Amino acid sequence: MADKVKEIEEIIDKYLKAGKILSQVRSEAKDRIKVGVSLLEIAEFVENRAVELGADGSAFPCNISRNDEAAHATPLAGDETVFGEDVIKLDLGVHVDGYIADSAITIDLSGKYTDLVNASSDALDAAIDTVKNGVSTAEIAAAIEDAILAHDLKPVGNLTGHGLSQYIPHAPPSVPNKRVSSGVVLKTGDIIAIEPFATDGAGKVVDGTLTEIFQVVNKKPVRLPAARALLKELAPHRTLPFAKRWLKTPQLDFALMQLEKAGIVHSYPVLKEVAGGMVSQKEHTVIVTEDGCQVTTK
């Protein structure tokens, strides 16, 4: 029993260390995001700085989603795109021994969407205030939706928060951003990422045409040399998502296509608001406690 308690304490310490590192990286990155700055420069800063501060790596590629993009946007290799007067969702994750911190903020470089930014922020605060041992994710969802509706905006109903586990950035349970008829009851020690999305659009996202983020989801033998070479390069990422720009394997697009067809790799297209509405996001990772929660990424 003592060994089990010690193991749990060590795991919690890794979650807390990851959260502390992420918080510093997020703050430093936010200060660097300005009109005219390169998206790739910010993404590489986030991913490299986490390691400099003691993380074992990124839990997923730095997401920089702009305007009607809600999630899964990350720069391409050699990307020369710069920030304009955009509404930017900076979503970042770091891990220590596979134990993940996941957090996001919205930065409005236009100065026109203060209420939209506040809507997702207020929703996250309301959700965190609701979390404790014995609370259902349905109660959290209702708190999120009410906070966003109070701004006369809509939650993005088909995006959710999620659980976290070692090397798995999206584990059960899901944490809806909109009312549901039933949910999962949380218990002390659960680790979840709560991430409300608010929009002035229709409240739904769909897959866009660009895909730069992938994840190994299955293990199977492959015959093609290019696919085998890519799997070897991907081995250090385990089950954590990766960006195409991180990879050096020849015939990369062909190899990725073969792995996806074989069900070994899953792709994450950029998600866009279906009506073209602007989207905001705010996210923290929390550890459920008996009478509340501990925010690891504050």
- pLDDT, tens digit, for every residue of 184-233? 999 999 999 999 999 999 999 999 999 999 999 999 999 999 999 999 99
Within 2-120, strands assigned E span 57-66, 69-71, 87-96, 99-108
Pairwise CA distance, residues 56 & 109, whole Å = 31
Pairwise CA distance, residues 63 & 29, whole Å = 12
Task: Give the catalytic positions in this structure.
Answer: 91, 102, 162, 170, 195, 283
- pLDDT, tens digit, for every residue of 69-89? 999 999 999 999 999 999 999
Pairwise CA distance, residues 185 & 116, whole Å = 30
Q: Which amino acid is at 154?
A: K
- pLDDT higher than threshold 80 for residue 175: yes
- pLDDT higher than threshold 90 for residue 5: no
CB 100 within 8 A of CB 57: no
pTM of this prediction? 0.96
- Point out the annotated binding site for substrate: 72, 170
- What are the structural domains, with CATH classification, of the chain? 2-207+271-295 (3.90.230.10), 210-270 (1.10.10.10)
- Point out the annotated binding site: 72, 91, 102, 162, 170, 195, 283
